[in-house]
Amino acid sequence: MRISYLFVIITITTPFLAIAISASMYPGFSPCKNALSDLGHATRSPSAPIFNLGLTITSFLLIIQAVAYLWEKDHALSGTLLSAAFFLQLVAVYDEVYGVRFDHLHFLVSALFFIAIITFLLLYAVKRKRVWAAIAVVTAIAVWALHFAARVPPGAAIPELLSVLLFLPAYVELMLSG
């Protein structure tokens, strides 16, 4: 079964469209100073429903692809994509309102999402023998290490966006390969 290009394009554009719309509605939001999840904070963000809906739709589309298309091709990559989609769903469900009161639940599910997409990239690099994907893994880890160790940049939005952008070529190549 060959997946439609349109399905992949919708899966990619949905979260970025939600981010762009949400950021434009959130006065003072800065990708250098904020985390993307600030856009989904239910009590502080005027655009939280848009941002969280974008994550939820994206998660749903990734789950469909992981189960209906990718499972037949590669169980390990399918399972890793499925776990990334599940954690993305939880990022929307447990927005930043679930902060300190619930032992940083939002941070935990966000971290698990980024670990899942980096794991997907690593697995992809090994299974498909893609050096560029291995370089993407090292780059993503370095960006996160720099953020956590030196607070560069001070907000998490840039490491978050870079991690997703590094993941996308592997996702697209895998979904559109015959």
Q: What is the structure's pLDDT at 52?
A: 97
DSSP code at position 70: I
Size (the chain), residues: 178
pLDDT along the chain (178 residues), means of 10: 83 98 96 96 95 98 94 95 98 85 86 98 98 98 97 96 98 89
Helix (H, G, I), strand (E, B) or coil at 32: coil
Q: What is the structure's pLDDT at 100?
A: 63
Q: Which amino acid is at 21?
A: I
Q: What is the structure's pLDDT at 98?
A: 79
Question: What's the CA gap between 64 and 1, in Å, rounded?
Answer: 13
Closest CA to 58 of 136, 176, 168: 168
Question: What's the CA gap between 9 and 58, in Å, rounded?
Answer: 11
Whole-angstrom CA distances from 18 to 47, 76, 111, 123 are 9, 29, 20, 28
Q: What is the structure's pLDDT at 103?
A: 72
**Helices 157-176 & 5-25, crossing angle to 10 degrees?**
170
Count CB-CB contacts under 10 A for residue 46.
12
Q: What is the structure's pLDDT at 94?
A: 93
Angle made by CA atoms 30, 31, 36, in degrees to the nearest 5: 105
What SS3 string covers 112-159?
HHHHHHHHHHHHHHHHHCCHHHHHHHHHHHHHHHHHHHHCCCCCCHHH
Report the phi/psi class of residue 27: left, alpha or beta, with left for phi > 0 and alpha for psi in -120 to 50. beta
Closest CA to 96 of 108, 112, 87, 83: 108
